[in-house]
Structure 1
Amino acid sequence: MGRTGLGPVIRNHQGELLAAMSVTRIGLLDPAAVEALATSMALQLARDRGFLRINLEGDVKMVLEAVMADDPGWSRIGHLVEDVRFALQHFNSWTMAYVKREANQATQKVAKMATAQPLDRTWSSDFPDVLREICASELSALNTC
């Protein structure tokens, strides 16, 4: 459809939903650019909600490595990496971790929703049922491990 969907999801340390965004961008972006842009949006959402300590998870290792590197260089996503680095300065503490795409189903679903419904949305409550179901399922799986 010529659109890219982004779906940052914010949960607390127990895996419960706190906020989510469904954002559409015109054009097809490569996965690294999408991940960097979604990370930047997630950080802004977390900052807007007043969170001071965050743990970021992403499924594009190149983006995480670029943010953690001393110099992001002038790669095709360098400017997005710099946006993420700047946004991280507003938090008291933060960590970043790579997760496999299969472990990141909530964000994947919200991103797909964005391509189907091109209006940007932000939720702090009244989350879509499908998002609640995915998060409850993931939470249940974590509790049985």
Structure 2
Amino acid sequence: MFTNPPATGYGIIIRNDKGEVMAASSTRGAPTSGSKEAKVLVCHHAVEFSFGLGFRDLVIQGDNITVMHKTTKFGTSSSRLGHIFLDIHSSLASPYWFFVSFIHREDNFVAHSLARFAKHISDDVIWIKDSPPPALKSLYFDLAHIAS
């Protein structure tokens, strides 16, 4: 979340089962009321972005355990963000495969690098089958971490 000017940055990375980058996105969004709202919105954006590119088998990872848990709990939600969860559930209710998991913030460097980059853009930036330059250092760190 950015304060000057007020906005939210969304970072999305799509990788295959070998860890290779398939697509990535940096998006600058409207200000949110807090971190949880931002995490729900980026989850929604990630699902829509993935489906828009034709991906149907998804492993959705995020560093907010509550958001990841509620993403798997289909049904009605009376929370203030319930309508966003319902939209995510509607998208995931298709006959495709998905798995949702919580990851620690320190394991989410690539997405955070892309989210921070969004502060400096006015339009969405999308990379297809290319490693996104704003996250190269984080990608190299991830690969070294996976290999060890």
Instruction: Give the TM-score of the pair, scaled to structure 1.
Output: 0.89
- Shift in alpha-carbon separation, 1:103–1:78, aligned structure 2, 3 A: same
1:44-94 deviations in Å (ceiling 9; x for gaps):
221122222111100111111212225452212111111111111235211
Q: 2:18 aligned to 3, 14, 21, which one?
A: 14
Question: Is the 8 Å Cα contact of residues 23 and 111 (structure 1) preserved in structure 2?
Answer: yes
Q: 1:47 and 2:67 equivalent? A: no
CA contact (8 A) 2:12 2:25 kept: yes
* Matching of residue 113 in structure 1 with residue 117 in structure 2: yes
Give the direction of change, closer, same or farther, for the CA distance of 1:81–1:48 in structure 2 (3 Å limit): same
What's the Cα RMSD here?
A: 1.7
Name structure 1 gaps, 5 residues minimum. none
Letter in 2 for 1:75: S
Q: For residues 46 and 70 of structure 1, what CA distance do their matches in structure 2 show?
A: 20
Query: Which shifted more, 101-110 or 130-139?
Result: 130-139
Tell me the residue number matched to 1:96.
100
Q: How does 1:78-89 map to 2 (within 5 A)?
A: 78-89=82-93
Q: Give the 3-state SS of the residue equivalent to 2:108 in structure 1.
A: helix
The answer to whether residue 51 in structure 2 is matched with residue 35 in structure 1 is no
Normalised to the residue count of structure 2, the TM-score between the two structures is 0.87
Judge conservation of contact 2:77–2:83 (CA < 8 Å) in 1: no
Q: How many residues align?
A: 144
Identity of aligned residues (%): 24
1:128 and 1:92, CA in 2 relative to 1: closer, same or farther beyond 3 A? closer
On the 8 A contact 1:54/1:91 being kept in 2, the answer is: no
Distance in 2 between residues matched to 1:51 and 1:107, nearest whole Å: 18
* Letter of the 1:31 counterpart: S
Deviations 1:86-112 (A, max 9, x none): 111235211000001110001101111
Match of residue 138 from structure 1:
142
Aligned to 1:75: 79
Whether the aligned pair in 2 keeps the contact of 1:15 and 1:135 (CA below 8 Å) is: no
The verdict on how the C-alpha distance between 1:137 and 1:88 changes in structure 2, with shifts beyond 3 A counting, is: same
Q: What is the rounded CA distance, in whole Å, between the counterparts of 1:70 and 1:39 in structure 2?
A: 15
Question: CA separation in 2, counterparts of 1:91 and 1:15?
Answer: 25
Q: 1:4-59, CA deviations, whole angstroms, 9 ceiling, x for partnerless residues?
A: 11111111111111111111123244111111111111112211222221111001
